[in-house]
Amino acid sequence: MKPFLDKDFLLETPTAQKLYHEYAETMPIVDYHCHINPQEIAEDKIFSNITEVWLGGDHYKWRQMRSNGVDEYYITGDATPREKFQKWAETLEKAIGNPLYHWSHLELRRYFGYEGVLNGRTAEEVWNLCNAKLQTKEMSVRGLIKMSNVKLICTTDDPVDDLHWHQVLKADESFDVKVLPAWRPDKAMNLEKDFYLDYIKQLSDVSGIAVKDFASLKEALSVRMDYFAENGCSVSDHGLNFVYYSPASDEEVNAILCKRLAGESVSYEEQLKFKTAFMQFVAREYHRRNWVMQLHFGCKRDNNALMYAKLGPDTGYDCIDNYAPSATAADFLNSLIATDQLPKTILYSLNPNDNAYIGTLLGCFQDSSAVGKLQQGSAWWFNDHKHGMTEQMISLANLGLLGNFIGMLTDSRSFLSYTRHEYFRRIMCNLIGGWVENGEYPDDYEALENIVKGISYNNVVRYFQFPVEEA
């Protein structure tokens, strides 16, 4: 029986072990999509306790605690940090087969040196150990980033953000990890939302363009893209229900937006027409600016009406949506390539059943302007576990070129989540090593080194053209 979480964790063959330990293990990290707060990096925050790091805003863990019958008082309520940690430790004990079990123990080992197992009985020991270490300078936000061998981070930022903390970080010569903004304009697109009119006023104020129709909305967004570009941005991100394609004339799109700006509601069909035109506009801007477009889709959000009323969005009540039509995604991309204005694009679906359609879609739009111009994003959210990652990489290998894959990202709000890159790399090396051991790929270690180092880090650097060195 293998020991729990030993040095060859998840590495089932000698080839997998060689690929990981000699090539993947020490590669740096580029975290090109996450939700961490740049202010906490700029201020080099020191966390007061492990609950703040682990359970503050982590809806992955909140969902599991609810599944264990834990009262909301101990999850998002007013229980003490120690009480919340106890309930999480008791829940984790039952999370056999869940990636949270692996992630949590990887974090305890890599950052805190704890070689034991966290459960209800050991919670006090782990609480005291972690909290003592968190008070040291080495465990500050910047310390954790440096300890994780991170070279560059892209945060997630709204067009109305002033990017002040990015400017502070850029001017700080004492910290050499690059922290760049990423453009997330969902609020400017989602005209059906209650907050939309207030948001448009904000956008008008910060851009200096009074948004009164679709032409002025595009102008305001362009002004803000210029500002983001001046602050190092070259990456966009969108959260979509699915990839929209419901074309309409300029006059009709303008009428829909003007109707909404006048305070009227818009129909679902009108929303699709506006969102299609919105996405076509920003995509063409990305192409002109050489930005990368990321499209996240396939999520049905905020399903528990009772808890949404109490807690609001992003609190652990989302699920996979099984409606992400491939035809509309193909038609949307085709509308951009028709005028040679398709930017580099990464597609992520929350539904693993979409792997094959994404794999075939990529091949329709690849060209010589960039290696792997269209990418399937790493297994996302509910899929970033051993099975989901393996399934996504097998599908990509079957239908595309796995050797050009840009690999893992954290998509996290936690500064301890960089161990997810280790988890991914182990799974990736195990998969490739298995193919070699089975005679499906030769034991050509020069080629294998390029593939493993590429997927771990180098492909990301080349694809995004980030200002960091390959390794």
pLDDT at 452: 98
Q: Convert the pLDDT of each residue in 433-465 to its tens digit.
A: 999 999 999 999 999 999 999 999 999 999 999
* pLDDT of 141 strictly over 90: yes
- The whole-number average pLDDT for the span 205-220 is 98
- The whole-number average pLDDT for the span 244-268 is 98
Integer-rounded Cα radius of gyration of the chain: 23
- The whole-number average pLDDT for the span 166-192 is 98
> Residue 325 — very low, low, confident or very high, per pLDDT cuts 50/70/90?
confident
The rounded distance, in Å, linking the Cα atoms of 60 and 246 is: 34
295 by DSSP, 3-state: which? Answer: strand
Return all residues near 298 (Cβ < 8 A) that are at least 6 apart: 242, 320, 321, 324, 348, 349, 350, 351, 354
Helix H or strand E encompassing 152: strand 150-154
Cα 309 to chain centroid distance, Å, stands at 26
The rounded distance, in Å, linking the Cα atoms of 15 and 137 is: 39
- The whole-number average pLDDT for the span 120-144 is 97
The rounded distance, in Å, linking the Cα atoms of 406 and 421 is: 12
Q: Convert the pLDDT of each residue in 183-206 to its tens digit.
A: 999 999 999 999 999 999 999 999
Share of the chain above pLDDT 90, in %: 98
Residue found by looking up tokens 């300890």 in the block: 147
Q: Convert the pLDDT of each residue in 333-366 to its tens digit.
A: 999 999 999 999 999 999 999 999 999 999 999 9
The rounded distance, in Å, linking the Cα atoms of 462 and 470 is: 8
